[in-house]
Amino acid sequence: MAENITTDIPEQGQLVEVRRRRYVVNDVAGSALPGSVLATVVGKPQHLVSLTSVDDDGLGEELQVIWELEPGARAFDPLALPQPAGFDAPPRLDAFLDAVRWGAATSADVRALQAPFRSGIEIEDYQLDPLVRSLQMPRVNLLIADDVGLGKTIEAGLVAQELLIRYRARRILIVCPASLQIQWRDQMRDKFGLEFRIVDSTLMKTLRRERGIHVNPWTHSPRLITSIDYLKRDRPMRFFREALPAEGEPAYPRRFDLMIVDEAHNVAPAGRGRYAVDSLRTSAIRTLSPHFEHKLFLTATPHNGYAESFSALLELLDNQRFARGIPPDRAVLQSVMVRRLKTELPPNWDGAPRFPQRKLEAIEVAYSADERQAHDWLQ
């Protein structure tokens, strides 16, 4: 059915299009100025329209506009929308019922994993351990410290997808080094079918040009990727604080759901002796951490040799179980940390090793007299 479009003043509950995005009208307030004043100042009455976004990449965003001054604003005739009292064709109804059954993953049964069957990857058995652990946690606070090459990105993607399927998470933020942003975006899209947007200065300029100067990059899409060095700057942190509840507003439920920190050892404070000094990266994660329901920290080197620094990293992950300066309890640490080395994993079912064995062999290189002299100069 064709959509009937009008530029008349919309009504509460009506679907409208403003700035090339679709919204539902929450409230319409007319100007309180007398008619004679309006005729002198603007020539006609004006209306303040409060809107809520219904687009997938900005669901729930709120906006207020002056309807008469908003270029390109249009409202859709409610009579042209589908009638809920009507009947769908049988094939369409069958497809809808199949979609409901396929998407009905119960949160009560932790054994009914869905993410491994909906991903486009060949999963190793050991990669399911973080997923199973996360489903047994009321709040997912997990430090995945597997060896290099064991697939920590895949393990984090499985957890994220499972939480999305079970409606335990919707807003996800991935914090990683700048050099890994594109890799994370491609991995999430190609292997799990999840679209993420990279938040950086380029995206900020695009959003301000397309959606206005008041757009917040941390709320424009439910799934985001950013670099830790961009996040720690003053301006991105200011925008993030603007997305948090204002003073006096309830802090629960949290505004964000899942935070994944890749190369988490980079956000641990540098430790020397008995003290660990917070860096800008540490301060940024410390600011964000309380506002996420679930957290995944990924690193192949969780301990830098300083107990104070390691305990501070654990405190960023879960400040209810760990505190900086206090050695973590071994049993509690094992409940939130997954650590496997390549040498510890059993071979495949056919007896073949999972990974090639490394062989170290010293190779002598003969240097010429000129090369030795250049080396001496560098010394």
Residue 109 has a pLDDT of: 67
What does the pLDDT average to over 220-234?
93
Res 62 pLDDT > 70: yes
Residue 32 has a pLDDT of: 61
What does the pLDDT average to over 254-270?
90
Average predicted confidence (pLDDT) for the chain: 85
Q: Do residues 292 and 318 lie in contact, with contact meaning Cβ atoms separated by under 8 Å?
A: no
Query: Which residue type, as a one-letter code, is found at position 90?
Result: P
Residue 107 has a pLDDT of: 58
Res 6 pLDDT > 70: no
Instruction: Show the domains of the chain with their CATH numbers.
Output: 5-80 (2.30.30.30), 100-344 (3.40.50.10810)
Residue 238 has a pLDDT of: 92
> Which pTM does this prediction carry?
0.71
Q: Which residue has the higher pLDDT, 63 or 305?
A: 63
Q: What is the DSSP letter of 211?
A: H
Encoding tokens for residue 329?
Answer: 């309890």
Residue 2 has a pLDDT of: 43
Res 56 pLDDT > 80: no
Q: Tens of pLDDT along 129-152?
A: 999 999 989 899 999 999 988 999
Encoding tokens for residue 243?
Answer: 């997305």
Residue 39 has a pLDDT of: 47
Q: Which ranges of 243-358 would DSSP assign to H, the alpha helix? A: 280-288, 307-317, 330-336
Res 1 pLDDT > 50: no
- To which H or E segment does residue 103 belong? none
Res 261 pLDDT > 70: yes
Rounded to the nearest 5°, which phi and psi values hold at 295?
A: -140, 135
- To which H or E segment does residue 209 belong? helix 201-211
The model's confidence at residue 24, banded by pLDDT at 50, 70 and 90, is very high
Q: 18-32, 35-49, 58-72, 315-329: which has the minimum mean pLDDT? A: 35-49
The model's confidence at residue 71, banded by pLDDT at 50, 70 and 90, is confident
Res 126 pLDDT > 50: yes
Per cent of the chain over pLDDT 90 is: 39
The model's confidence at residue 34, banded by pLDDT at 50, 70 and 90, is low
Q: Tens of pLDDT along 168-212?
A: 899 999 999 999 999 999 999 999 999 999 999 999 988 888 877
Give DSSP secondary structure letters for 148-184.
Answer: TTS-HHHHHHHHHHHHHHTTS---EEEEE-GGGHHHH
Q: Tens of pLDDT along 77-96?
A: 766 656 667 777 888 888 88
- The residues, any chain, with a CB within 8 Å of residue 159's CB and separated by 6 or more, are 115, 130, 131, 134, 140, 142, 296
Res 359 pLDDT > 80: yes
Res 309 pLDDT > 90: no
